[in-house]
């Protein structure tokens, strides 16, 4: 091995990547060549100084605390988010059940009909109570600004009861009848003008959910510990 | 949870990172505690300013934890953290380069208290040699300096250094080769051959 070949192996030797055979060859050359011995010694000593110098700058003791104080709140775990969504879903589901129940009662004229695509058994007593309403003692009516619309609704209900009674006696299906009745009632409700537009809009704004309302949970650090 | 100051196994580190990803503050604190000193030491050797080093170190940790979800567990957390730290460091040096109009000379090292009495025991020759070597390291380009520091002081292999510096392994080896050549030239120019490089003297230097 000559000096040129030996120098080509210096890096591999210093990186610890030289095979035992080549390391022996290099060692043999080093013993006999003062120039290569000196050059390798310079490389080794500089590496040794860099590796073993004990003077080291150290970070301040309170670095960790200051760093943690700068960090934003950790992201919520997906289980926490799922639980939060579930809490939000419960009142919505309850509202949906109440709404379906209302339509169920209103449309409960047949022993079996559909609500939102689901088959539902109707209570025959509810149908009968609608056909034969309980007798109510008439009271002097208070002055009502919407008296005309109330009378109109009363008239619709009266006609519905008469028609339903006739169909029931004749043994006919009442499904189509209720569909038409609901449409008629909705058209009346839609025709009613809101009493105060500004107030209605104001209420709508108050109920509006901000787009990012569910992005950040409450600042309750203890929650995540439970998961 | 108290983490021993020794090195974590890859599996222990993976679990710690996983807990930090789930928002566990104690795990986050442990990760900072485990890596802050090494990262700070590396950055300080790169910029030679305590205040800047602390800012870069803090920035690196903040960036690392902000994108912890993207951390791949097959890598070591330290490698990933050093990658971010080096990138922040490089950006800072480039900005400084633009501000100073290309004067890249690093400031003189701030006085660092010796870690223990042993480092004061070396001879005057050893202290002079140490100063010459570190002065030569400071004159290397940033990638060469980083390569040398990661290789010798942080005991990283060329593959890990390549990950940290986001360079091919061959480039890292080239940086190391050029840096060694530069160090050898500086030592030769400074007539350091007057020193005797026997093993005992080298041990004194450390």
Residues B11-37: tens digit of each pLDDT: 888 888 888 888 888 888 999 999 999
A52 interface with B at CB cutoff 8 Å: yes
Residue A197: the pLDDT is 42
Cβ burial A22-39 (10 Å sphere, 16+ → b, else e) = eeebbeebbeebeebeeb
Is the CB of A49 less than 8 angstroms away from the CB of B206? yes
pLDDT bucket at A196, cuts 50 / 70 / 90 = very low
Residue of A nearest to B58 (CA): A67
- A39, A46, A74: residue with CB nearest B133: A46
Radius of gyration of chain B (CA): 19
Q: Please compute the mean of the pLDDT values over residues A175-185 and round it to a whole number.
A: 67
In the block, residue with structure tokens 């035992």:
A20
Given a contact cutoff of 8 angstroms between Cβ atoms, the answer to whether B47 and B53 are in contact is yes
| A49: chain B residues, CB-CB within 8 Å | 129-130, 133-134, 205-206
Is the CB of B62 less than 8 angstroms away from the CB of A70? yes
Q: Which of B18, B21, B22, B118 has the most A C-beta neighbours within 10 Å, making it the best mutation to test the interface with A?
A: B22
Residue of A nearest to B38 (CA): A58
Is the CB of A47 less than 8 angstroms away from the CB of B180? yes
* Residue B117 in this model has a pLDDT that exceeds 70: no
Q: Which of A57, A73, A221 has the most B C-beta neighbours within 10 Å, making it the best mutation to test the interface with B?
A: A57
Strands (E), chain A: 112-115, 118-121
Residue of A nearest to B43 (CA): A57
Instruction: Give which of B33, B73, B21, B61 is closest to A224, Cα–Cα.
Output: B21
Q: pTM value?
A: 0.58
- In three-state secondary structure terms, B179 is helix
The residue with greater pLDDT, B7 or A1, is A1
A60 interface with B at CB cutoff 8 Å: yes
Q: Please compute the mean of the pLDDT values over residues A91-111 and round it to a whole number.
A: 60
Q: pLDDT tens digit string along B171-190?
A: 999 999 999 999 888 888 77
Instruction: Give which of A9, A8, A7 is closest to A38, Cα–Cα.
Output: A7
Q: Please give the Cα distance from A96 to A90 (Å, whole number).
A: 10
Q: What value of ipTM does the predicted structure carry?
A: 0.79
Q: pLDDT tens digit string along A117-169?
A: 455 455 555 555 555 555 555 555 555 556 776 777 778 778 877 877 887 77
Residue A181: the pLDDT is 66
The string of DSSP letters for B49-117 reads -HHHHHHHHHHHHHHHHHTGGG--TTS-HHHHHHHHHHHHHHHHHHHHHHHTTT--PPPPPPP---SSG
The residue with greater pLDDT, A189 or B74, is B74
Given a contact cutoff of 8 angstroms between Cβ atoms, the answer to whether A113 and A175 are in contact is yes
- In three-state secondary structure terms, B200 is helix
HEC string for A63-76: HHHHHHHHCCCCCC
Residue A137: the pLDDT is 54
| B36: chain A residues, CB-CB within 8 Å | 59, 63-64, 67
Is the CB of A63 less than 8 angstroms away from the CB of B54? yes
Residue B166: the pLDDT is 92
The string of DSSP letters for A184-221 reads HHHHHHHHSPPS-HHHHHHHHHHHPPPTTTTTS--S-T
Is the CB of A43 less than 8 angstroms away from the CB of B184? yes
| A55: chain B residues, CB-CB within 8 Å | 112-115, 119
Q: Please give the Cα distance from A178 to B169 (Å, whole number).
A: 79
Given a contact cutoff of 8 angstroms between Cβ atoms, the answer to whether B23 and A74 are in contact is yes
Residue B125: the pLDDT is 78
Q: Which of B24, B41, B109, B197 has the most A C-beta neighbours within 10 Å, making it the best mutation to test the interface with A?
A: B197
- In three-state secondary structure terms, A104 is helix
Q: Which helix (H) or strand (E) covers residue A166, if one does?
A: helix A147-170
Residue A54: the pLDDT is 78
pLDDT bucket at B150, cuts 50 / 70 / 90 = very high
Residue B67: the pLDDT is 86
* Residue B44 in this model has a pLDDT that exceeds 70: yes
Residue A153: the pLDDT is 74
- B29, B188, B202: residue with CB nearest A48: B202
Q: Please give the Cα distance from A1 to A22 (Å, whole number).
A: 10
Sign of the torsion formed by the C-alpha atoms of B36, B41, B43 and B49: positive
Neighbours of B64 (CB within 10 A): 22
């Amino acid at each position: 091995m000559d000096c040129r070949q030996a120098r080509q192996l210096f890096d591999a030797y210093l990186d610890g990547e030289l095979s035992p055979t080549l390391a022996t060859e290099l060692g043999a050359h080093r013993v006999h060549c003062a120039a290569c011995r000196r050059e390798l010694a310079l490389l080794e000593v500089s590496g040794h100084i860099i590796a073993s110098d004990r003077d080291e700058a150290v970070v301040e003791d309170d670095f960790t605390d200051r760093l943690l104080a700068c960090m934003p709140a950790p992201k919520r775990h997906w289980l926490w988010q799922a639980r939060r969504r579930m809490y939000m879903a419960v009142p919505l589901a309850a509202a949906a059940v109440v709404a379906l129940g209302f339509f169920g009662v209103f449309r409960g004229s047949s022993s079996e009909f559909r609500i939102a695509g689901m088959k539902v058994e109707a209570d025959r007593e509810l149908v009968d109570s609608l056909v034969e309403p309980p007798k109510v003692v008439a009271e002097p009516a208070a002055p009502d600004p919407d008296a005309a619309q109330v009378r109109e609704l009363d008239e619709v209900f009266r006609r519905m009861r008469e028609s339903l009674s006739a169909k029931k006696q004749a043994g006919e299906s009442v499904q189509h009848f209720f569909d038409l009745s609901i449409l008629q009632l909705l058209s009346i409700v839609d025709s009613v003008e809101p009493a105060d537009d500004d107030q209605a809009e104001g209420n709508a704004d108050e109920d509006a959910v901000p787009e990012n309302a569910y992005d950040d949970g409450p600042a309750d650090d203890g929650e995540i510990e439970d998961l | 949870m108290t983490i021993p100051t020794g090195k974590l196994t890859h599996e222990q580190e993976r679990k710690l990172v996983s807990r930090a990803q789930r928002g566990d503050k104690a795990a986050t604190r442990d990760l900072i505690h485990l890596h802050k000193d090494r990262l700070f030491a590396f950055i300080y050797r790169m910029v030679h300013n305590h205040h800047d080093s602390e800012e870069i170190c803090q920035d690196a940790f903040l960036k690392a934890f902000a994108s912890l979800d993207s951390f791949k567990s097959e890598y070591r957390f330290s490698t990933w953290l050093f990658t971010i730290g080096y990138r922040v460091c490089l950006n800072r040096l480039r900005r400084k380069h633009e501000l100073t109009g290309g004067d890249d000379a690093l400031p003189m090292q701030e006085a660092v208290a010796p870690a223990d009495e042993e480092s004061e025991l070396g001879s005057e020759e050893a202290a002079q040699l140490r100063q010459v070597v570190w002065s030569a390291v400071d004159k290397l380009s940033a990638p060469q300096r980083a390569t040398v520091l990661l290789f010798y002081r942080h005991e990283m292999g060329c593959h890990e250094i390549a990950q940290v510096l986001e360079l091919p392994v061959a480039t890292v080896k080239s940086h190391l080769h050029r840096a060694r050549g530069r160090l050898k030239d500086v030592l030769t120019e400074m007539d350091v051959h007057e020193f005797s490089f026997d093993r005992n003297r080298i041990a004194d230097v450390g």
